[in-house]
Amino acid sequence: MSRTITLKIFPDLPSHTRRRALMGIGSMACVHAPSPTPAQIIEGLGGIRAASRTAKIGLDTVYRLAAGEGTFASYRKLAHAAGFRVLITEGKSEKWKALHSSQDMCWQTPPEIWRSVLNRLGLEQFDLDPCSPSGISTQPIPCADRYTVDDDGLARSWGAPGDVVWVNPPYGRALSDWIDKMIAEASRGVTVIALVPARTGTRWWHRAIDGGGKPEFLRGRLRFLGKDGMPGDAAPFDSALIWFM
């Protein structure tokens, strides 16, 4: 049995809850079931009363831990009493990883989103999609021009002043670079509408707003389209449009 226990935080928690959890503050309800479980540790210590004495925590606290409840602090005391070290990390599901990947640009915008934008702008198509997905059989967003990952939309011009650009950027670490590019292009007079995660506590979000972006928060969680053009499960985050006009 490993002497290190890793607690993996659920990826769709509110940002403030996730930050506190990473600091070791919060409830065991914020993490996936650890291995060994609290009940297994308690059994290894000789039962509820023996665990309470050894870990120097109350009987009620041990009972809560055995039921999968309690706090990180009480769980740490229990685990330490049994000789375990406890680490707390981000727990990312496969869907979370895919939707946040800087490499995979194949997650397509739900049609109702870009149709609504075009209707409100009175347009039939955008001038450019600089984050157009590659490796798919359909290109649903109507654009006069598009860049795929091979074209490197960060390094190229997005058009002339007055052009209207739709951006659904990759949601990994590269997102910050795309925000900077949006601000730069908007400063030249290009109209940019971006679909991004609604992460109001991030630095890139505040740069976007300080750079002239106007946020529009979308109701519900979006179902992005996969490579086959079919909607997937609901995204594990809220979304927003940022308008640079």
- Show the tokens assigned to 120: 């409100």
Give pLDDT, residue 103.
44
Flag residues of the chain having pLDDT under 50.
1, 96, 101-106, 137
114 and 54 both lie in a single domain: no
Q: pLDDT tens across 79-135, in order?
A: 999 999 998 887 665 554 555 544 444 457 888 899 999 999 999 999 999 988 765
Rounded CA separation 14/238 (Å): 10
Last residue of some domain: 66, 91, 116?
91
Q: What span, in angstroms and rounded, lies between the C-alpha atoms of 229 and 231?
A: 7
**pTM, entire model:** 0.58
**Total number of domains in the chain:** 2
Q: How far apart are CA 196 and CA 241, in angstroms?
A: 6
| Segments forming the whole domain that contains residue 12 | 4-91
128 and 47 in one domain? no
Tell me: do 107 and 183 sit in the same domain. yes
Among 91, 111, 136, give the residue marking a domain's end. 91
- Say if residue 195 is in the same domain as residue 139: yes
Q: Is 179 left (phi over 0), alpha (psi -120 to 50) or beta?
A: alpha
CA 150 to chain CA centroid, nearest Å: 24
Please report the pLDDT score of residue 102 as a whole number.
43
- CATH number of the domain enclosing 112: 3.40.50.150
For position 194, what pLDDT does the model report? 96
